[in-house]
């Protein structure tokens, strides 16, 4: 029942990811937020009157208890945003999930490259994805993808067969194997990587889940490599997410005579880094080609709710202290004390003019 109140607060209508994190920062825990009076809720910056009313009226007990039971029966874990295992890169996006469901193992600070592409890939695309997945693994790079048919599956297997580590971000619950023919891949990822999702246990792979899932794929990686994609491909959504998140975008050129290559070739026209070999990716990321060491990892660190909120804010860019006070759910005194703690941990630095930045 460790995350009972996390499930409860997330189930409240009108409480999305951003509101959840504001409440967490203000009250310190989901339980305290749910037990807050209407007057206390009204004092939280950025929490709408509709959200406050919904929290007062919503009966979360049965749903939260059922989710705890499903989690326990599945053997999955929950990694919340206060955990050292929560991916720090994911905190850089505008609406990070308050928690992730996890099968396998997760490090909060691992460096990775995402690989995505067409579900209806050509033999050329499948072979290229397998090769690049393998070569990234040989450089100590974690490969992130979505476990979909085609390029995703080839990328995961290329990495795993080279002895590497791979992460699948799902558009369904972590207890749902989709597509069903990836049963063996699912079980291998549980043993030698991770499967993660922001969707509740048992969630079906609905079409509307996948565009939302794509922002997490790109957020977990230092760059996104598109291997094969036609016009309108979901992989292009992932590439767009990467650009919005400040990630590098890479693309493998495709056959100019096939419609399945128009999307990826279009990315190259728009400025994506053309990739023929793994060294093209490593060089762009500042990693010496043919290096025998894994990508350098930043130090991991635990966070309090207040530290998590300010860290996520500063991941968006350098902010002056007055702007942090306005943007956060904390008082001026709490902001000053929290920034000092983050500085002492070596996570942020203070710049001239009372401006702060992530190290």
Residue 23's domain is classified under what CATH number?
A: 1.10.150.20
Q: Looking at the structure, do residues 230 and 148 belong to the same domain, yes or no? A: yes
In this structure, the answer to whether residues 118 and 261 fall within a common structural domain is yes
What tens digit of pLDDT does each residue of 51-79 get? Answer: 999 999 999 999 999 999 999 999 999 99
Same domain for 339 and 226: no
Shared domain for 113 and 231, answered yes or no, is: yes
Tell whether 89 is covered by a domain. no
Assign residue 75 a region: left if phi > 0, alpha if psi is -120 to 50, beta otherwise?
left
Do 122 and 235 sit in the same domain of this protein? yes
Q: 314 with 357: CB under 8 angstroms?
A: yes
**pTM to 2 decimal places:** 0.85
* 121 and 187 share one domain: yes
Q: Is residue 293 part of a domain?
A: no
Which CATH number do you get for residue 315?
1.10.10.10
10 Å CB burial of residue 259 (0-12, 13-18, 19+) is exposed
Residue 93 lies in a domain: no
Kindly state whether residue 300 falls inside one of the protein's structural domains: no
pLDDT value of residue 1? 56
**Amino acid 316: pLDDT:** 77
Please indicate, yes or no, if residue 99 is contained in any of the structural domains.
Answer: no
pLDDT per residue rounded down to tens, the chain (359 residues):
589 999 999 999 999 999 999 999 999 999 999 999 989 998 898 899 999 999 999 999 999 999 999 999 999 999 999 999 999 999 989 899 999 999 999 987 788 999 999 999 888 889 899 999 999 999 999 999 999 999 999 999 999 989 999 999 999 999 999 999 999 999 999 999 999 999 999 999 999 999 999 999 999 999 999 999 888 788 899 999 989 999 999 999 988 888 888 989 999 999 999 999 999 999 998 866 654 444 545 556 678 999 999 988 888 778 999 999 999 989 999 999 999 998 888 788 887 788 888 76
Q: What is the pLDDT of residue 248?
A: 93
Structural domain ending residue among the three candidates 52, 74, 96: 74
Indicate whether 195 belongs to any domain: yes
Assess whether 2 and 137 both reside in one domain: no
Assess whether the previous peptide bond of 304 is cis (omega < 30° from 0). Answer: no
The Cβ-side half-sphere exposure at 176, using a 13 Å CA radius, reads 18
Q: 340 lies in which domain range?
A: 305-358
Question: Which own/partner pairs from 80-84 qualify as long-range (CB within 8 Å, at least 24 positions apart)?
Answer: 80/3, 80/6, 81/21, 81/24, 81/303, 81/308, 82/302, 82/303, 82/304, 82/305, 82/308, 83/108, 83/302, 84/108, 84/300, 84/301, 84/302
Q: What is the pLDDT of residues 111-141, one digit of tens each?
A: 899 999 999 988 888 989 999 999 999 999 9
Asked whether residue 58 falls in the same domain as residue 207, the answer is no
Does residue 174 lie within any of the structural domains? yes
How many distinct structural domains can be found in the chain? 3
CATH number at residue 114: 3.40.50.450
* Domain shared by 267 and 206, yes or no: yes
Same structural domain, 120 and 207: yes
- Residue 322 shares a structural domain with residue 280: no
Task: Tell whether 216 and 169 lie within a shared domain.
Answer: yes
Residue 96 lies in a domain: no
Cβ partners under 8 Å of residue 332, min gap 6: 325
Task: Report whether 230 contacts 262 (CB < 8 A).
Answer: yes
């Amino acid at each position: 029942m460790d995350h009972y109140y996390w499930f409860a607060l997330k189930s409240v209508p009108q409480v999305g990811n951003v509101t959840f994190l504001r409440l967490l920062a203000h009250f310190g825990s989901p339980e305290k937020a749910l037990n807050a009076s209407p007057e206390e809720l009204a004092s939280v910056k950025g929490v709408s009157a509709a959200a406050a009313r919904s929290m007062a009226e919503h009966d979360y007990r049965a749903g939260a208890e059922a989710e705890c039971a499903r989690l326990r029966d599945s053997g999955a874990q929950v990694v919340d945003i206060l955990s050292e295992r929560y991916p720090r890169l994911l905190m850089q996006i505008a609406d990070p999930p308050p928690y992730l469901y996890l099968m396998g193992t997760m490090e909060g600070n691992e460096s990775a490259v995402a690989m995505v592409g067409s579900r209806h890939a050509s033999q050329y695309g499948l072979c290229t994805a397998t090769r690049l997945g393998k070569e990234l693994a040989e450089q100590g790079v974690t490969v992130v993808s979505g476990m979909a048919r085609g390029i995703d599956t080839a990328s995961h297997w290329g990495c795993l067969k080279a002895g590497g580590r791979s992460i699948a971000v799902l558009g369904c619950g972590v207890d749902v194997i989709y597509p069903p023919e990836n049963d063996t891949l699912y079980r291998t990822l549980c043993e030698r990587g991770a499967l993660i999702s922001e969707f509740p246990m048992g969630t079906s792979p609905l079409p509307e889940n996948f565009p939302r899932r794509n922002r997490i794929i790109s957020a977990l990686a230092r760059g996104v490599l598109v291997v094969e994609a036609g016009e309108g491909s979901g992989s292009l959504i992932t590439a767009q997410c990467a650009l919005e998140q400040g990630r590098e975008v890479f693309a493998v050129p495709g056959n100019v005579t096939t419609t399945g290559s128009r999307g990826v070739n279009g990315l190259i026209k728009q400025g994506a880094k053309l990739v023929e070999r793994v060294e093209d990716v490593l060089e762009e990321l500042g990693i010496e080609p043919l290096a025998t060491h894994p990508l350098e990892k930043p130090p991991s660190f635990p966070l309090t709710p207040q530290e998590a909120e300010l860290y996520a804010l500063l991941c968006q860019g350098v902010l002056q202290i007055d702007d942090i006070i306005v943007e956060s759910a904390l008082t001026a005194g709490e902001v000053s004390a929290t920034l000092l703690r983050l500085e002492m941990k070596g996570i942020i630095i203070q710049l001239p003019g009372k401006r702060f930045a992530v190290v």
